[in-house]
Amino acid sequence: MKRIIFLTVTILGIGNQVFAQQDTTTVFSSPGYTKDPLRSKWTKTVEQKDSLWVVYFYNKKNILQETISFADKKLEVRKGPYAFYDNNNLKEEGNYEKGYKNGVWKKYYPNHQLAENAYYAWGNLHSVFKSYWDNNQLKKEGKYFRGKKISVWRLFYSDGKPAFKERYTEQGEFIDGVYFDQEGKNVASTLIIQPPSFPGGAQAFNRFLVKAIRYPANAVKNKTQGTVILEFMVMDDGKIEDVKVKESPDPELSREAIRVLNASMNWIPAKELGEPINMHNTVPITFQLGN
């Protein structure tokens, strides 16, 4: 008798108390930096500066778009200054150490006004974070510890009025929050924050998994089952980054879940006050073998 393989998918947003959740059950019978869809359309030059190799990317009009510094001639390990440009304006800058974001990273508006000031410790957001509206008004502030929000976070409208106040434990667990409209009245959190989602919702994500996932042969042979819980970041452009395994019964199931999630791409980003933002998300995927 043919073995039946079940996959249960639950999509949960984290980072606040807003959740998009749905369970479904279905019966089932890695790129280099130059392979990025955007960079592949650009031309590049490489220049050695002291102990670093710096790559410059130019668009078709020969306008500088990005500079990436590397520690090695093979251009495999990022180290040193990084910069990204948009229409000749500096949009983002920071520093890498041993391939990880490390130190202060800044983002800018087209008018050169500071949009975001963040600190990274070996790839994780850490310490004080602040973002600003393009009128220089404080937009959001709080603290990170090893990539997780801690203590009190505040969000403000562009006129300085409070939009929310959220509290987190020192371990990064959400405690509670209060949310306000522009008149100062309490409102539901979903009117302020919309979590990230897969285009079409949980059912569409499940259909994607039907086509993409392959239950590992050894896991089938060894009757390995269980739930892989993945944490990841949905960026403000919809891309998936920083996929991590939170819980898993088996390394093979973990690798397959990570592979498929990375292939999903193009999510609908979370929004705060109507503007796209980066936000963590969690996907528990349960692998279950039938009789």
Per-residue pLDDT tens over the stretch 148-198: 999 999 999 999 999 999 999 999 999 999 999 999 999 999 999 999 999
pLDDT given for residue 33 in this prediction? 53
Longest CA span, the chain: 67
Write down which residue in 192, 216, 249 finishes a domain: 192
Same domain, 209 and 167: no
Lowest-confidence range among 19-23, 175-179, 228-232? 19-23
Cα-only R_g, the chain = 21
Which CATH number belongs to the domain containing residue 4 in this structure?
3.30.2420.10
Per-residue pLDDT of 232-283, as tens digits, reads: 999 999 999 889 999 999 999 999 999 999 998 889 999 999 999 999 899 8
Residue 31 has pLDDT above 80, yes or no: no
pLDDT of the residue at 6: 53
Per-residue pLDDT, averaged over 102-115, amounts to: 96
Write out the residue range of the structural domain in which residue 183 sits: 126-192
What's the domain count of the chain? Answer: 2
- Same domain for 144 and 216, yes or no, is no
CB 196 within 8 A of CB 202: no
The dihedral through the CA atoms of 210, 216, 222, 226 has a sign that is negative
